[in-house]
Structure 1
């Protein structure tokens, strides 16, 4: 995990993280055509939890569950059950552009919570950078916002904002307690338990008879479990452990941009001028959030 603190490895980890989460949007979209949403979300998170538990048993070190169960319960509740659950319903009840705007309030909320809880700096430049990044998400999602007012429901808006809030709290909570738990176990235990809860909830709300057991479904579940969930969250937590939570969260603004580009390439979705405007705003925002003030020391290579 010390590798995450090195600039070159950190840049590579960010690139892989963005590609993993961005590609998962298209992969999950395909999978949802063959399974109901809550069962699909539960299945992929549970499978990811099983995989990461095996990895943690091999390389995660010792686990003091009796001492740290409250931390695992917190991470499982906020990063898995509440976040993924609210995100699923936001996508169900809102146009995709509107859902993206609301869910990607997360970096701004992380900046505020990290300042209040962790004592991280919240300079005017960092605030401006977070707002520019969010403006970029709005620009990219503009096609989903225009003319969609009749499709926007109060339940969908509430779920979208809630998902951003839960994700932000889970991120700051991990940063606060990072010294007590292994990063591998911080992914494995919450996703194993949270996946079981989501799967049980899906069995109560939906019918397994609605699932079409096809190759695209299996491929979607496997990819989203291995890459979009297990690998991505391991990289995300490793990067949060190595740096400021607010700085790491600012890079999450890139995910919707990459997702739109991937969707255009593989799913023939429209790629227009809003992406270019959004990309410029996001890059500007990330620069402002992560710029090193004059007189401050640069991180080691």
Structure 2
């Protein structure tokens, strides 16, 4: 079946557009305000999707609570950090490269949170991965002008910490349940934290025009709905590992898209650093002998 063969690549391509959309949407709306709108529409559409497809809602309030908390981490804090950082001037290409930290950070904390021992190959992969990210990002940070601050880059990195912990939290507390209903509740959690932050930190500026509507439609339908629907399809068919094997292409894809749409420069440190980081991520999650970091521990892709 054609869809079965193409679904992993389509999912990763959709996922990589998230950083471009974040950069584009910042021209027309405050980042957190835009995300609050996106989550609101996503909640309504997911509720409708669950009703049409007969999804089973959790009967335990503890499961509801865990789903909401995981949504706060995976969508609210993670995307809020990434979108706010891009809105504050972090290049979309740099933010996409920083996103490569997520599987590395998950592997790094796995020994402490889920007692997963790392092999020598995986430790080498971690070293290469973080070195590659540093090579790609630091020259850009050191060359920034006085109007740009380091804080947005730090917030962007902290967002990777949120999605890393959120991934492990979901693995620990959400082993069962209808993933369609869980996804809907996760967007509720995302809205619960994003809307107050938007009220506190932004003027909630929105310039309603065709471009904003297009960006919102793509964010909701293409990313929040389309990418998640493909992920559900891959999970159902047991093909998540195929999508995960293509995750290494996301940072360079995001950088190329940022260069095409916004003219962001692709410098040699970015290119070489990305290659080193991708190699490190590959080694960290690659099977070594008969052992490997299980895919669910390596981290479910976080959709931007």
What's the TM-score bracket when you normalise by the shorter of the two chains? 0.7 to 0.9
Change (3 A) 1:228 1:190: same
> Secondary structure of 1:211's match?
coil
1:257 is aligned, of 252, 255, 280, to 252
> Distance between the aligned counterparts of 1:251 and 1:151, measured in 2?
36
Contact kept, 8 Å, 1:46 with 1:194, in 2: the verdict is no
Matched, 1:185 2:181: yes
Report the equivalent of 1:57: 51
Report the equivalent of 1:148: 144
Q: CA deviation at 1:82?
A: 2.0
Matched, 1:291 2:286: yes
Matched, 1:117 2:120: no
Q: CA deviation at 1:217?
A: 0.4
Contact kept, 8 Å, 2:125 with 2:282, in 1: the verdict is yes
Matched, 1:213 2:208: yes
Report the equivalent of 1:72: 67
Q: CA deviation at 1:113?
A: 3.1
- What is the root-mean-square deviation of aligned Cα atoms in Å? 3.7
Report the equivalent of 2:41: 47
Report the equivalent of 1:15: 9
Q: Decide which moves more: 98-107 or 34-43.
A: 98-107
> Distance between the aligned counterparts of 2:65 and 2:261, measured in 1?
42
> Secondary structure of 1:180's match?
coil
Tell me the number of residue pairs that the alignment of Structure 1 and Structure 2 aligns.
289
Report the equivalent of 1:26: 20
1:172 is aligned, of 157, 168, 172, to 168
Matched, 1:37 2:31: yes
* Alignment deviations for residues 131-153 of structure 1 (CA, whole Å, 9 cap, x no partner): 32343334444553241274564
Report the equivalent of 2:262: 267
Change (3 A) 1:254 1:141: farther
> Secondary structure of 2:70's match?
helix
Q: CA deviation at 1:12?
A: 4.7
Name stretches of at least 5 consecutive residues in structure 1 with no aligned partner.
Answer: 1-7
* Alignment deviations for residues 82-132 of structure 1 (CA, whole Å, 9 cap, x no partner): 222233333344633665565543222211333333344421212222332
Q: CA deviation at 1:191?
A: 0.8
> Secondary structure of 1:271's match?
coil
* Alignment deviations for residues 211-243 of structure 1 (CA, whole Å, 9 cap, x no partner): 211111000011012223333345568878969
